[in-house]
Amino acid sequence: MDLKTTYLGLTLEHPLVPSAGPLTEKLDDLKRLEDAGAAAVVLHSLFEEQLRIESAELDYHLSHGVESYPEALTYFPEPSEFRLGPEDYLELIAGAKKALRIPVIASLNGSTLGGWTDYARKMQEAGADALELNIYNIPTDPDQSSAEIEDTYVEIVRAVRSAVTIPVAVKLSPFFTNFAHVAKRLVAAGANGLVLFNRFYQPDIDLETLEIRPNVLLSTPMAMRLPLRWIAILYGRLNASLAATSGVHRATDAIKLLMAGADVTMMCSALLRHGPQHLGTVKRDMIAWLEEHEYESVAQLKGSMSQKNCPDPSAFERAQYMRALTTYPVPPARGS
| CATH number of the domain to which 13 belongs | 3.20.20.70
Can you give the pLDDT at residue 66? 39
Residue 323 lies in a domain: no
What lies within 8 Å, CB to CB, of 253 at 6+ separation is: 221, 224, 247, 265
What span, in angstroms and rounded, lies between the C-alpha atoms of 310 and 289? 20
Weakest-pLDDT range from 17-21, 82-86, 245-249, 252-256 = 82-86
pLDDT, averaged across the chain: 86
Residues 84/58, Cβ–Cβ less than 8 Å: yes
pLDDT digits over 296-328, tens only?
Answer: 999 999 999 999 888 777 777 765 555 655 666
In sequence order, the β-bridge partners of residue 41 are 104
Give the DSSP H/E element, type plus range, for residue 163: helix 146-163
Which residues contact residue 88 at a Cβ distance below 8 angstroms, ignoring those fewer than 6 apart?
none
For the ranges 19-33, 50-64, 76-90, 106-120, the lowest mean pLDDT is seen at 50-64
Given strand 241-245, what is the order of strands in its sheet? Answer: 16-18, 264-267, 241-245, 193-196, 168-172, 130-135, 104-110, 41-47
> From its phi and psi, is residue 269 left (phi > 0), alpha (psi between -120 and 50) or beta?
alpha
Q: Convert the pLDDT of each residue in 220-274 to its tens digit.
A: 889 999 999 999 999 999 999 999 999 999 999 999 999 999 999 999 999 999 9
- Residue 329 within any structural domain of the chain: no
Tell me, what's the pLDDT at 59?
A: 41
Least confident of 82-86, 123-127, 243-247: 82-86
Average confidence (pLDDT) over 27-39: 98
Number of domains in the chain: 1
65 has pLDDT over 60: no
156-171: average pLDDT: 96
Residue 321 lies inside a defined structural domain of this protein: no
On the CB side of 252, CA atoms within 13 Å amount to 3
Contact 167, 192 (CB under 8 A): yes
Query: Is 294 domain-assigned?
Result: yes
Does residue 237 fall inside a structural domain? yes
What does pTM read for this prediction? Answer: 0.85
Of the CA atoms within 13 Å of residue 209, those in its CB half-sphere come to 6
Residue 172 structural domain: 5-309
In a domain, 325, yes or no: no
Confidence category of residue 331, pLDDT binned at 50, 70, 90: confident
Is cis: bond before 200, omega within 30 of 0?
Answer: no
Please indicate whether residue 216 or residue 131 has the higher confidence score (pLDDT).
131
In a domain, 181, yes or no: yes
Which amino acid is residue 116, in one-letter code?
W
Query: In this structure, is residue 37 part of a structural domain?
Result: yes
pLDDT at 31: 98
Q: Give the best-scoring range by mean pLDDT among 49-53, 60-64, 189-193.
A: 189-193
